[in-house]
Structures are given as structure tokens and as C-alpha cells.
């Protein structure tokens, strides 16, 4: 059993790595969705701050 963050990353199995990757990708893709809902990227950035 690892004691650090880097060791813990190696202990996560492949199914969990896929879930973490999907969550990260969804987080990155949320900016384009936020801008689309706001009407434009400029408006989306103003609302996010």
C-alpha cells in the first residue's frame, strides 16, 4: 500500500483510471457548454468570474 500521491496513482485499477479520465474530459468540455449556454465565449467568461 502506497503512502504518497504518486504511489496511490499506481494502485488505481484500469476501470477507475477510465472513470477519472472521463471526469477530467467532462470538466474540460464543460467550458464550451458553458459558453454555448451563455450565448458567446465572451459572455461565458464574464459570467464565470
- Percentage of the chain beyond pLDDT 70 is 65
Cell numbers linked to 5 = 500521491
Sequence ranges of the domains in the chain? 14-48
Q: What is the pLDDT of residue 44?
A: 81
The reported pLDDT for the residue numbered 10 is 59
**Model confidence band, residue 11 (pLDDT cutoffs 50, 70, 90):** low
> Is residue 33 very low, low, confident or very high in pLDDT (cuts 50, 70, 90)?
confident
Three-state secondary-structure class, residue 2: coil
Mean pLDDT over each residue of the chain, to the nearest integer: 74
Q: CA-to-CA distance for 20 and 11, rounded, in angstroms?
A: 13
Q: Select from 21, 46, 44, 17 the least CA-distant residue to 33.
A: 44
Position 8 scores a pLDDT of 53
Amino acid at each position: 500500500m502506497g503512502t504518497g500521491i504518486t504511489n496511490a496513482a499506481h494502485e488505481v485499477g484500469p476501470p477507475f483510471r477510465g472513470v477519472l479520465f472521463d471526469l477530467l474530459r467532462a470538466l474540460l468540455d464543460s467550458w464550451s457548454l458553458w459558453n454555448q449556454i451563455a450565448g458567446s465565449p465572451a459572455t461565458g467568461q464574464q459570467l464565470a468570474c
